Structure 1
Amino acid sequence: MGSITPYDTANGRRYRVRYRKPDHTQTDKRGFTTKREAERFLASVTIAKATGDYIDPSLSRVTVGALAATWLASKRPPVLKPSSYLPLKTAWHVHVEPRWGQRELRSILPSEVQAWVTELATTRSPSVVIRALGVLAGVLDMAIDDRRISRNPARGLRNLPRRSGRKRRVYLTHKQLLILARVSAHPTLVMVLGYCGLRWGEATALRVRHVNRVRRRFNVEENAVLVRWQIHVGTPKTHERRSVPYMAALTPLVDAVCEDKEPDDLLFGNGKTHMKRENDDKSWFAVAVRRAQKIDPTIPRLTPHDLRHTAASLAISAGANVKAVQKMLGHASAAMTLDTYSDLFEDDLDAVAAQMETAAATGPHSVLDVSALLDAEQRFGRF
């Protein structure tokens, strides 16, 4: 099982524990101040070896930086999309590596990680802090999987910065959307975004061959995302292709942008290069918003992504069920759709009640004969 031997130091007697690791090599641990403490350690090692939970202390001497390269490599595209991988890589180099890169795994304490998070939160947004913590925790999770450490000091922290409340969503009415499209340099794109709920990257990645003009469908198969001024084309956000219908009223517009183009040409823009979403006040979309506001001052400031919210709002107002809206938007689940647009479905409850009242009040046997119900309440309520 092992042995315990005493030895003398300038500070008094100490105890050394010698034992064999699961690979049968011998090692020891010294510095125990009492024999009972040494016996408890030897007993814990014996149990850990018997249950398969033994952690070799020598493996925990590796630095966080030595493992981070392997962890980041495991996240590279195509495992993660470039737009998801780059923020992790940046968080490692900017926030995590300077503080933890040279630290040995075994030396990190939860209190130190908590202090780092608290300090970082004084100068960085909650999203940046949580992402940086997630990178450190991910590297340490890999160390646990490799049986280098037994617990993750970056997990289970009690005090984390809270993200700000849900951003105010912008929803346009049918009339406002039409005004915006009419004064836009790309009216068909505005209408598609506002009525089909495509993400910007999905819409700008559409090709002529993705349009089924017989069934009036957009087959969403690609997503063009701008990452560090470079367009990366990949699968849609949830990695699942979907078919999104468009209204018959949009048929002339869709036919017009398909005209004189080859099947592999992009539907929007010049047909050859993907349109980039510009966020400055001089972009075509910002100019269109200002023009629309002059016509209708009630039109709020908005971005192209807000047209996706508009599409959800208009679909829900038209009576679409949650599952249909989920499929249109390409959400991973109906629960996600409900969570994202809970405010819209709450408002829709009033409409549901009104529709039920209308249905109940029609026909020869209306259930809303209030006088008869009150009479029944008085006659039978006592039983």
Structure 2
Amino acid sequence: MSIRQRPDGSWRARFRDADGKEHARHFKYKNNPRHPEDSAQHWLDHVTTSVVTGTYVDPKLAKLTVGEWCDTWLSAYEQNRASSVRQARSHVKHIKTAFGSRQLRDVRPSDVKAWTAALKASGLADSTVYALHSRLSHIFTDAVHDGLVPRSPVSRRTSPGQAKQRMYVATTEQVWELHERMPAHFKPVILLGAFAGLRIGEIAALRTSDVDFLRGIITPEVQYPALPLKTETSKTPIPIPLDLCTELSRVPAKWGSATLVVGAFGRPVSPYTIETAFRKVADSIKGLPAGFRIQDLRHYFASFLIASNMDIKTVQKLLRHASAKVTLDTYGHMWPDKEESARAAIAKTMATRADFLRTRGVETPGIPRDLATRRSTARTRRGAGAGRSA
């Protein structure tokens, strides 16, 4: 790095980047106290700082627009699953509409916040806005990694917040009413969702070869349309009772199809077709909320397992979650409250200890012998009084 005065009186500041490429700029002044940004020394100091801190960006690369970088980013993203690429293209379309002509370096956090606010105002669902923000974050993070910008304008501060998961647990009566009202060829949809916890893509692609009807085991292998499952955990075998196997075998036996769920003419159908038929039936059942989904049958399956006193690891395995944390984050509120049980257990232990000490002639100050009994009697009396007032 150096600064030298040229014969014409201007000052030339230059340096070499990590690749050995020389960069130079010419200024009228070496130092300009009134306007330091116009001086050679100020520019060189700024560049030196950015190089040392690892935030230096080649000026030519910094002129790259968001739209140009999105095209490059998508070409590298093509190696992912076809469904993931389609979703990414849809997200990038929104991003290019808003920022396509802007240079990467010119996008500010305030611009991102204004964009998400405009998306919400346009009527997009909160989950969609959150997904678009996450995609923009992914794109800018990769731009930082490639040295195109020093830092990303997208962060938690600009996040619109993730939409709360909509969950409704149907009653057993509602589940069986759904089953009765569905067309005969779609009845397995209800059984597979509510009693095996399969997702809609897995239901649409489940083959007869994926079900061991003799031993009562479902082993999902693919999702619609014949694509591999997203994770290895999703291939975890699901045990089902033989009565359910009998119900599921009726459709293949009638149609002779390769999949358990078929259309009106005995051929495999898409998740969209299944969802359309499901919504028509769900809308006609009293008590089910608007927008009740096949995914909500999976919630019923989870609640059924928890109500049967199954531990967290068993529920995780049957739901085929990647970790117990996912299960707890989604269904933790369904487990019975153990606080009162813990309080009662501790009270019992302390009462037992007090009795033991008294047998040895030692008094326990501050804890009456019948403390637990007194509290229990008081709670009983309060409950009885509430019953009378009601």
2:80 is aligned to 79
Quick check: 27-36 or 113-122, which moved more?
27-36
| Equivalent in the alignment of 1:215 | 215
Per-residue deviation, 1:54: 4.3
Task: Please point out which of 180, 183, 191 is paired with 1:182.
Answer: 180
The yes-or-no answer on 1:122 pairing with 2:121 is yes
Higher relative contact order (CA 8 A, sep 6+): 1
Structure 1 window deviating more from structure 2 (314-323 vs 30-39): it is 30-39
Q: Provide TM-score, normalisation by structure 2.
A: 0.74
Partner of 2:170: 171
More strand by share: 1
Change (3 A) 1:117 1:32: farther
The answer on 1:108 being equivalent to 2:107 is: yes
Q: In the TM superposition, what whole-angstrom CA distance separates every residue of 1:70-91 from its partner, at most 9, and x where no partner exists?
A: 2122333x51451x43333123
SS at match of 1:319: coil
Aligned CA distance change for structure 1 residues 299 and 25 (closer, same or farther; 3 Å)? closer
What is the identity, as a one-letter code, of the residue corresponding to 2:337? L
| Contact 2:170–2:297 (CA under 8 A) maintained in structure 1 | yes
Computed over aligned residues only, the root mean square deviation of the Cα atoms, in angstroms, reads 3.8
- Aligned residue number for residue 228 of structure 1: none
- Whether the aligned pair in 2 keeps the contact of 1:193 and 1:311 (CA below 8 Å) is yes
In structure 2, the partner of 1:67 is 69
% identical aligned pairs: 26
1:81-135 deviation per Cα after TM superposition (whole angstroms, max 9, x unaligned) = 51x4333312322x32123212222333333333333444432443333333333
Cα 1:181–1:72 change in 2 (3 A) is: same
Aligned to 2:337: 349
Any gaps of 5 or more consecutive residues in structure 1?
225-231, 361-366
Does the CA contact (< 8 Å) of 2:169 and 2:303 recur in 1? no
2:194–2:297 contact (8 Å) kept in structure 1? yes
- After TM superposition, the score normalised by the length of structure 1 is 0.75
**What amino acid does structure 2 have at the position aligned with 1:99?**
A
Tell me, in whole angstroms, the C-alpha distance in 2 between the residues paired with 1:17 and 1:329: 63
- 1:162 aligns with 161
Q: Give the aligned partner of residue 301 of structure 2.
A: 311
The CA distance in 2 between the partners of 1:352 and 1:252, in whole Å, is: 43
SS at match of 1:272: coil
CA contact (8 A) 2:133 2:159 kept: no
| Distance in 2, Cα, partners of 1:276 & 1:250 | 22
Q: Which has the higher helix share?
A: 2
* Conservation of the 8 A alpha-carbon contact between 1:199 and 1:305: yes
Aligned to 1:363: none
**Partner SS, residue 55 of structure 1:** coil
Q: CA deviation at 1:288?
A: 4.0
- How far apart are 1:313 and its partner, in Å? 0.8
Rounded Cα–Cα distance in structure 2 between residues aligned with 1:80 and 1:141: 21
Residues 67 and 326 of structure 1, relative CA distance in 2, 3 Å threshold: same
Structure 2 gap ranges (5+): 367-390
Contact 1:14 1:32 in 2 (8 A): yes
1:150 match: 150
Q: 1:195-214 to 2 correspondence within 5 Å?
A: 195-214=195-214
Shift of residue 178 of structure 1?
A: 2.9
**Contact preservation (8 Å) 1:220, 1:242:** yes
Q: What is the number of residues matched between the two proteins? A: 349
- The superposition leaves residues 136-158 of structure 1 with CA deviations (integer Å, 9 ceiling, x where unpaired) of 333322222222222122x2362
Of 206, 229, 253, which residue of structure 1 is paired with 2:247?
253
Structure 1 residue 275: deviation in Å? 4.5
Secondary structure of the equivalent of 1:265? coil
Helix, strand or coil at the partner of 2:237: strand
CA contact (8 A) 2:120 2:129 kept: yes
Tell me the distance in 2 between the aligned counterparts of 1:166 and 1:352: 28
1:244 counterpart letter in structure 2: I
